[in-house]
Amino acid sequence: MRRTTVIRTGLSALLVIGAWATAGLVPATAAPSPTSEAPASAGLLSAMQKDLGLTKGQAEARLAAEKTATAVDGKARRAAGPAYGGSWFNADSGTLTVAVTTAGKADAVRATGATVRLVEHSAQQLDAAKAKIDALSAPAGVASWHVDPKANKVVVNVVAAQKNDNDVRSFLARARQAGPVTVEETATAPQTFAAGTVGGDPYYTGNVRCSIGFSVYGGFVTAGHCGQAGAGVSGWDGSYIGNFQGSSFPDNDYAWVNVGSGWWTVPVVLGWGSVSDQLVRGSNEAPIGASICRSGSTTHWRCGNVLAKNETVNYSQGAVHQMTKTSVCAEGGDSGGSFISGDQAQGVTSGGWGNCSSGGETWYQPVNEILGRYGLTLHTA
């Protein structure tokens, strides 16, 4: 966008309303979070009150507890070593629980500030079982699968109406051979959230509208299903932005677009007038159970909770790996948009089921993978 046409609702003319990217095979190059504590904006607190049913005081306390839990998580993982079985945040108690397979590691983990649960399977064993399932060809009736540290199993989600399908039953039989597996039902198969062209939205490629992701130096990140490498991108005002420099879908769902022609990047996630525009200060990964919010060009600002990590989602176009599942709703056109927890970038919107009238769930790919994959640096405040 050009500086003469910047004034628009909130910062919608600014290029960096947040999508995030995916979780990382290579260390991310995001700038570290500043040590100074930035207070939560009134808009963020208001959105959490609305979408999570909290009071202002409860929202402030939860954000503080989640920030502490995020810091404790890394220390606890190191203390547990090979006995680490995963972790999750408990919103009611404000504590992080860490699963361990060896009682001898319990005291060291508790010393980090986490509570401890003894389990049978380590995170490494569960990840290995999931990797074996990833190698299978899943039928349409299988929606997704992920490691659930709280259940200490790999959870396979099947579409309820197709649970007795022969191909689904055969897939589940092979999945159970991979390791500890439990089956849950979902009402609807997942789908991506791209949409046909309509006026006034953040960016277009061909006849597809998607949502701009997090700003990186030199461009922004977004969802891979929104465009292939080389495809041209135009902004909300129809002016040329740049091109997809890299894109992966399926298997992954991430991409990045270079920025030029009078457009520039800023470390901001758009609040769409529902909340104040949010500054991005880093990309520390929030734990399971943490609150999280999403910004997108169709349904704007919505909040919910992190439900699962490292989930494989079986879209009609093929499986996408290493996704994070949330209770936040989304609709067509929200693809590529930002997921943010506090002031920390989390990931880019990929797909889900349902809508923002009746409810639903969404998946995103964590931002740090895309930064590492393409050697990008997150633009932070």
The single-letter DSSP state of residue 280 is: P
Q: Between the CA of residue 342 and those of 47, 91, 107, 172, 338, what are the distances in Å?
A: 12, 15, 30, 38, 12
d(CA 167, CA 142): 9
Tokens of 326: 């949330």
d(CA 329, CA 209): 18
Q: Tell me, what's the pLDDT at 286?
A: 96
Low-confidence ranges of the chain (pLDDT < 70): 1-38, 194-201
Q: Tell me, what's the pLDDT at 37?
A: 56
User: Choosing from 51, 148, 253, 343, which is the catalytic residue?
Assistant: 253
Read off the pTM: 0.81
Peptide bond preceding 250 in cis form (omega within 30 of 0): yes
Q: Tell me, what's the pLDDT at 266?
A: 87
Contacts 24+ apart (CB under 8 A), 8-14: 8/236, 9/272, 9/273, 10/270, 10/271, 10/272, 10/273, 10/277, 11/266, 11/268, 11/270, 11/277, 12/202, 12/236, 12/270, 12/272, 13/235, 13/236, 13/237, 14/266, 14/268, 14/270
**Catalytic residue at 253?**
yes
User: Choosing from 335, 338, 341, 350, which is the catalytic residue?
Assistant: 335
Tokens of 207: 């006849």
**H helix runs in the chain, sequence order:** 42-52, 56-80, 106-110, 123-134, 166-176, 367-374
User: Choosing from 121, 225, 300, 379, which is the catalytic residue?
Assistant: 225
**Catalytic residue at 334?**
no
Q: Tell me, what's the pLDDT at 121?
A: 98
